[in-house]
Amino acid sequence: MKIGIVGISGSGKTTIFNALTGSVAEVSAYQKGKKDPNLAVVRVPDRRLDILSSMYRPKKTTYARVQYVDIGGTVSAREGMESSMDELLKLLHPVDALVHVVRNFDRSGESPKPQKDLEALESELILTDLIILEKKIERLEKEITKAGKGSPEELELLKKAGEILERGEALRGYPNIAQSPMLKGYAFLSAKPCIVVLNTGDDVELGTTELQISDAIVLVELKGRLEMELAQLSPEEAELFREEMGLEEPATFRLIKESYQLLGLISLFTVGTDEVRAWPIRQDTPAPRAAGAIHSDMEKGFIRAEVVSYDDLIACGNHSAAQKAGKVRLEGKNYLVQDGDIVDIRFNV
C-alpha cells in the first residue's frame, strides 16, 4: 500500500517525508526530471502491539507497514499545466492515497496562504481527471455507436463523474463513483482518498489557522520542521526532548495512523513467543481471506479461527483467563475480522 506525498513546491513535502521516515532526504533539492522520488517504508505505530509484546515477550515484534513516496517538486501550481500533468500522472497513478502538504509558514518573506494553495492543487487534480475523462468518454462513445462494443454502464458512470468534476468537485466525495470497480482502472487522482497536512511554522500556535476543507478530507496539522528534527534524534534524546516540551507521541504517528485508516486497513494480531505481529487487512475481510494474508495455506485449508478481541484479552489479563471467561470464540468462514482481533487460525493442508 503506497501513499503519495503531494503539494505545491516548497510546501514541506520532503520535510514531512523525513519526519515520517526518520530519513534525511535533502530538502528543496528536487530538480525536475533529475531525481527519483524519495521512497520509504514506515511502520505503523500501535500501542496495542507494544502491550501484547510486553505480555508475550516474543523474539520478534512486527508492525504493520505503509509506504510513502515523496513526489518532489513536480506538483506545482506555478508550472505550466501540460508538462506538470504528465509527470504527475505517471508518478501518482500507482498510489493508493494522497497526503497533500500545505504550507503554513513564512517562506522567503512570503506569508502562507494555505486556503489558496490547497485549492490550487485540488483544482489541478480535478482538471487532470477531467481531461482524461473527456478523452475516455469520446473513445467509449465511438466504440459503442460504431463497433457495438464497450459498456454503456461505464459511459454512464463516466458522464456522472464528469458532471462532478465540471462543478469543480473532487470525486473522492462520491464513494459510488470513486470506488466503482468499473472506473478503478482510470485511477482518477481526485478519487484517491486524501489527508491534508497543514504544515505549520514553529512560531504559529497549532489549531489557530482557519482552513475550509470538504468532509471527504482528513486534516492533520503539525509542525513539519520540528517533527523532522525530532525524528532525526536518537530515541533517547527524542524522549527527553518530548518530556521537556510536554509532548506525547510524535505528531507523525497520528499522520501514519490516519494514513492506515485512509487506506481502509485494520489490524489483526497474531501472538506467540516467536513473534507478535500486526497484519494489515482490509475492513470487512472474511476470516479465510484474512488468514490468507498470513499464509496462503491457511486460506486454502481454513477450518476455524480462534478469536479474542484485544480489549477482552487485556480486561481478562491473559489468554487462559479470557478463555475461562468465555471470551475466546471459534469463528467460521463467514466471520468478518475486526480491528484488534487476536487470531489463531485452525487449518488443514
Judged by the rule CB under 6 A, the positions of this chain that interact with ligand GTP are 7, 9-15, 27-28, 30, 72-73, 105, 107, 199, 201-202, 223-225
Q: Which of 4, 6, 30, 250 binds Mg ion (CB under 5 A)?
A: 30
Up-side HSE of residue 42: CA atoms within 13 Å toward CB? 30
Q: Binding partner of residue 136 among ligand GTP, Mg ion, none, CB under 5 to 8 Å per kind?
A: none
Q: Return the number of the residue (7 or 292) whose C-beta is nearest ligand GTP.
A: 7
CB of 207 to ligand GTP, least distance (A): 15
Interface with Mg ion, residue 14, by CB under 5 A: yes
CB of 73 to Mg ion, least distance (A): 6
Interface with Mg ion, residue 267, by CB under 5 A: no
Region near Mg ion per CB under 5 A, out of 8-16, 75-83, 136-144, 206-214: 8-16
Q: Which three cell numbers stand for residue 271?
A: 501472538
Q: Binding partner of residue 10 among ligand GTP, Mg ion, none, CB under 5 to 8 Å per kind?
A: ligand GTP
Q: Return the number of the residue (13 or 223) whose C-beta is nearest Mg ion.
A: 13
Are 230 and 238 in contact, with CB atoms under 8 Å apart?
yes
Region near Mg ion per CB under 5 A, out of 26-34, 138-146, 186-194, 209-217: 26-34
CB of 186 to Mg ion, least distance (A): 27
Region near Mg ion per CB under 5 A, out of 12-20, 130-138, 166-174, 230-238: 12-20
- Give the 3-state secondary structure of the chain: CEEEEECCCCCCHHHHHHHHHCCCCCCCCCCCCCCCCEEEEEECCCHHHHHHHHHHCCCEEECCEEEEEECCCCCCCCCCHHHHHHHHHHHHCCCCEEEEEEEECCECCECCCHHHHHHHHHHHHHHHHHHHHHHHHHHHHHHHHHHCCCCHHHHHHHHHHHHHHHCCCCHHHCHHHHCCCCCHHHCCHHHCCEEEEEEECCCCCCCCCCCCCCCCEEEEEECHHHHHHHHCCCHHHHHHHHHHHCCCCCHHHHHHHHHHHHCCEEEEEECCCCEEEEEEEECCCEHHHHHHHHCHHHHHCEEEEEEEEHHHHHHHCCHHHHHHCCCCEEECCCCECCCCEEEEEEECC
CB of 97 to ligand GTP, least distance (A): 18
CB of 126 to ligand GTP, least distance (A): 20
Q: Return the number of the residue (32 or 329) whose C-beta is nearest ligand GTP.
A: 32
Q: Return the number of the residue (13 or 304) whose C-beta is nearest Mg ion.
A: 13
Q: Return the number of the residue (13 or 100) whose C-beta is nearest Mg ion.
A: 13
Q: Return the number of the residue (12 or 286) whose C-beta is nearest ligand GTP.
A: 12
CB of 312 to Mg ion, least distance (A): 45
Instruction: For the beta carbon of residue 253, count every other beta carbon within 10 angstroms.
Output: 16
Q: Return the number of the residue (117 or 129) whose C-beta is nearest ligand GTP.
A: 117
Contacts to Mg ion by CB under 5 A = 13-14, 30
